[in-house]
Amino acid sequence: MSLVDEVKPVFEKIFSAAVEKAPEIKSWNKVYQFVVEGVGEFYVEISNGELKVVEGKHPNPIATLSADKETLDKILSGELDAMKAFMLRKIKITGNVLDTMNLKKLIDLGVGKA
C-alpha cells in the first residue's frame, strides 16, 4: 500500500467531519505539501469545496510540512497535537507557517478536538 493510499482515507474522513462543523473550510483554496521522512511525499489540496490527496510534489504549496511517519500518524489520529509536535521539533514547517494554523484547525475539527 502506498503512502497516499494510506493517508487519503484518513484526510477524507477528517475533511468531511471538519466541514460539518466549519462549512467555511469549503471556500478554502490551499495546498499543503507533506514530506514523510524515508517514505515519500504527497500534497493535500483544498479547493472548490473538495479535498484531494495527491502523490508527489506540488509546484506551489502554501507550506511544506516534514515529519516522520509515526509523528504524522499521531497527529492525524488526534493522539499528538500538531502545535506540540512543532514545538518538540518533531515536525518542520517551511513556507507560510502561520497558514498551517488553518490546517491544524481542520485536523482538530476532524478528529473531534475542537
Q: Which class in CATH covers the domain with range 3-106?
A: alpha beta
The answer to whether the beta carbons of residues 73 and 107 sit under 8 Å apart is no
**What would the mean pLDDT of 3-24 be, rounded to a whole number?**
96
Is the pLDDT score of 104 beyond 90? yes
Say if residue 114's pLDDT is above 80. Answer: no
Whether pLDDT at 94 is above 80 = yes
Angstrom distance (rounded) from CA 19 to CA 91? 25
Q: What is the pLDDT of residue 35?
A: 98
Digit-coded pLDDT (tens) for 21-78: 999 999 999 999 999 999 999 999 999 999 999 999 999 999 999 999 999 999 999 9
Domain boundaries, the chain: 3-106
Q: Count of CB atoms within 10 A of residue 101's CB? A: 12
Write a three-state SS string for the chain. CCHHHHHHHHHHHHHHHHHHHCHHHHHCCEEEEEEECCCEEEEEEEECCEEEEEECCCCCCCEEEEECHHHHHHHHHCCCCHHHHHHCCCEEEEECCCCHHHHHHHHHHHCCCC
Give the model's pLDDT for residue 113: 82
pTM of the model: 0.94
Q: What angle do CA 69, 74, 12 make, to 5 degrees?
A: 85
